[in-house]
Amino acid sequence: MPLLIQALAAYAEEHAEEPGLGLMEQLILWAGFLGAWLLVAGPLHQARVELAEEEFERERFEDAMKGVEPPRRVSPLWWLVPPLRLYLSHRRHQVWEREVWIRLPDEDFEALSSFMSKARGWLLVGAGGSLIATKETWELVEGNEWSTWLFWVLAVGMAIGCVAYTVLQAAREVGVAKKRTELRAEAAAKADPAQ
């Protein structure tokens, strides 16, 4: 991060005499941009970590679903009145969902409820961060008088970067755990040569 700040400072000094933004304005725009995108990457990562820790076993939930007939499909003709079609579909799904909930044991229902509550909470935090990041990306592009297409490149690129960070971090954690298991097995084998 300090390297990025040094590069920004060098850029700002080089272009200080040109009309436009000064060093402080540039630093504020870039800080807002980077900080806002951290508000997207952080909740994505934390949501993955917390939801992975939840003691919700999908197989047990699928067992409860097997005993309940899936909701009937709503006729495509209802798309002629989209709000009514969406209402009917939602209503049928709610009836099906209640049947599944009734069949779940109490502990599984509590685990599902906790999982869904945390997922909704992190979805809201991530959505809020995304909105702030979008605004800050626009402010950066507008402040530097760049083309609008660059806004879209930055916004999409940073969103992909945030998701990629979360995926790569998850893969890294799996790799570290696997390596740790291998090292422990090697250490145990060295400690007990009879194996």
Listing DSSP states for 86-116 in one string gives: HHHHHHHHHHHHHHHHHHS-HHHHHHHHHHH
- ∠ CA 152-155-156, rounded to 5°: 80
pLDDT of residue 15 exceeding 70: no
Give the pLDDT of residue 115: 84
User: How do residues 109-166 score in pLDDT, each as one tens digit?
Assistant: 888 888 888 889 999 999 999 999 999 999 999 988 899 999 999 999 999 999 999 9
Buried b (16+ CB within 10 A) or exposed e, 166-179: beeeeeeeeeeeee
pLDDT, tens digit (0-9, with 9 covering 90-100), for 19-74: 667 788 888 999 999 999 999 999 999 988 888 877 666 677 777 777 778 888 88
Determine the pLDDT at residue 40: 93
Most confident of 15-24, 133-142, 171-180, 182-191: 133-142
pLDDT at 173 over 90: no
Confidence of residue 8 (pLDDT cuts 50, 70, 90): low
pLDDT at 189 over 60: yes
Contact 11, 26 (CB under 8 A): yes
What local confidence, expressed as pLDDT, does residue 62 receive?
Answer: 73
> Tokens representing 99?
């049947």
Instruction: Give the integer Cα–Cα distance in Å for 109 and 128.
Output: 28
Could you report the per-residue pLDDT of 69-113, keeping only the tens digit for each? Answer: 888 888 888 888 888 888 988 898 888 888 888 888 888 788 888
Give the contacts of 5 (CB within 8 A, at least 6 positions apart).
27
Domain ranges within the chain, ordered by starting residue: 2-191
- Structure confidence at residue 16 as a pLDDT band (50, 70, 90): low
Q: Which of 119, 142, 113, 125 is nearest to 33 (CA)?
A: 142
